[in-house]
Structure 1
Amino acid sequence: MELTVRAEVKNLKFSYGEKRVLNGVTLPIHENRVTALIGPSGCGKTTLLRCFNRMHDLYANANYDGEILLHPGGINILGKEIDPMEVRMRIGMVFQKPNPFPKSIYENVAYGLKVRGVKKKSFIEERVEKSLQQAGLWEEVKDRLSSPATALSGGQQQRLCIARALATEPEILLLDEPTSALDPISTRHIEELIQELRKDVTIAIVTHSLHQAARVSDYTAFMYLGDLVEFGASDQVFTNPRDPKTENYITGRFG
């Protein structure tokens, strides 16, 4: 079965002022698959992930060079004429630490729709319920949607953040170490959720856990010092890496 490429990174360089962080990265992101970005701290994986929804635009001296093409259509989402807010609606992001807004559970999930100008209450209610179901949280919160989101447990808060990201029906979901602040049971919930969500959305995940990358991803990109060293099917990368650097990292010779 031929895979559809949902997004394409082409010769992407990125720097903060004089500091170069990415050195001409090129890789595909396949539709309805999970792509893991792995590598030691400071290798550029989170920087690459944040390029996808223009998070770096929020800081001064951020410089992109190269393209990230969103298919179908081949729109370069790094183009100066492209509105970063529109990019963030099409590409959702969930961060390392759960960050619910200081609002009710319902208002957290409805937030992105309201920002988009959606006013129809029945449509918003439908999307809130569906997103919470997709995030595996509906049964736990359906009777307390007006309760503060901050009253939820850490694992529930992270699933709420996933529901909030899903509410605007993004084409790609970015997960930046989504379980690093969670206990093992919550981590398992999120990993199971990722496997379910790939049916509906294309996912890119940054993780420090090689075991997690091997468990949840279809494709893995190994990065080192701003370079993409190796990209391939996760089974191949973890069992038969082509590059000695990849093998050294996966076997724990450096990290």
Structure 2
Amino acid sequence: MSMGMSARLKAEAERFSFYYGDFRALKDVNLPVHEHCITALIGPSGCGKSTLLRSFNRMHDLYPGNRYEGVIRLYPDRVNILDARVDPIAVRMRIGMVFQKPNPFPKSIYENVAYGLRVRGEKQQNVLDERVEEALHEAALWYEVKDKLQSPGTELSGGQQQRLCIARCLASKPELLLFDEPTSALDPIATASIEDLIQKLRAKVTILIVTHNMQQAARVSDYTAYMYIGEVIEVGPTTKIFTRPANKHTEDYITGRFG
């Protein structure tokens, strides 16, 4: 876990609150996201983990009545991605998202990966070919699909589909990758391969992951934030959170004496 434990921040939420209509789902959240590290969000169901994660790429803009307060800053340029003048599409170019259930588009494997590049207006075939191959390599999928790039992405197994979705994100060279319980729909073998991949990816990209599985957080992350009812109760290096949490509430959750 010593790798890349720099104090350099890639992003951070400061006094961040989120409202669904009048309901305040997140309350004054402070969360540092360290560069080239994996930060896990853990906590009981409905505590706001996914809501917080989705705020990092302005996913909530898609629904009326949602609003943000406070700041989510992206480094090195210190842009507040919640600023109304910031285009959410531009934010999503820099911050990719992988969902709970694999969601490949009903297109070929190749077109799934090339999608983000085409949206950006990339037309050069050699550039597309190169990035598609590179992203599939980075997602540890190239050797399994290189001979069937024109087959539908939906024909792949669940674990392969999830890696295809990861490749689709990586093709646009994001700076931050958000994972929303990326293995909850997968079997143990596919789960292990995705965890392994996530750990390798932190050399290239900063990762924020929501998981309901504490063992997974302990296995893959460098930092862990424990959330409860819309608040970040405690955040710190994963080893410390799991062995010497400062907060009694965190300790009760981690040891299973909770609720």
Determine if the TM-score, normalized by the shorter chain, exceeds 0.5.
yes
Runs (4 or more) in structure 1 with deviation over 6 Å come to: none
Number of residue pairs matched by the alignment:
255
1:55 is matched with 59
1:200 is matched with 204
CA distance in 2, matches of 1:254, 1:70: 34
CA distance in 2, matches of 1:96, 1:2: 29
Q: Residue deviations 1:156-181, cap 9 Å, x none?
A: 00000000011100000000000000
Cα deviation, residue 2, structure 1:
4.1
> Residues 147 and 2 from structure 1, CA distance in 2 versus in 1: closer, same or farther, beyond 3 angstroms?
closer
Cα deviation, residue 80, structure 1:
0.2
One-letter amino acid of the counterpart of residue 179, structure 1: T
TM-score (norm: length of structure 2): 0.97
Q: Report sequence identity in percent.
A: 64
One-letter amino acid of the counterpart of residue 145, structure 2: V
2:118 is matched with 114
| RMSD over equivalenced CA pairs, Å | 0.8
2:163 is matched with 159
1:12 is matched with 16
8 Å Cα contact 2:100/2:185 also seen in 1: yes
One-letter amino acid of the counterpart of residue 89, structure 2: M
2:192 is matched with 188
CA distance in 1, matches of 2:164, 2:224: 26
8 Å Cα contact 2:6/2:34 also seen in 1: no
- Where structure 2 has 5 or more consecutive residues not aligned to the other structure, the ranges are none
Counterparts of 1:205-244 in structure 2, within 5 Å, are 205-244=209-248
Cα deviation, residue 254, structure 1:
2.0
Q: Residue deviations 1:187-215, cap 9 Å, x none?
A: 00000001110000000000000000000
- Where structure 1 has 5 or more consecutive residues not aligned to the other structure, the ranges are none
1:135 is matched with 139
Cα deviation, residue 77, structure 1:
0.4
2:177 is matched with 173
* Comparing 137-146 and 118-127, the one that deviates more: 118-127
CA distance in 1, matches of 2:247, 2:174: 34
Matched, 1:249 2:253: yes
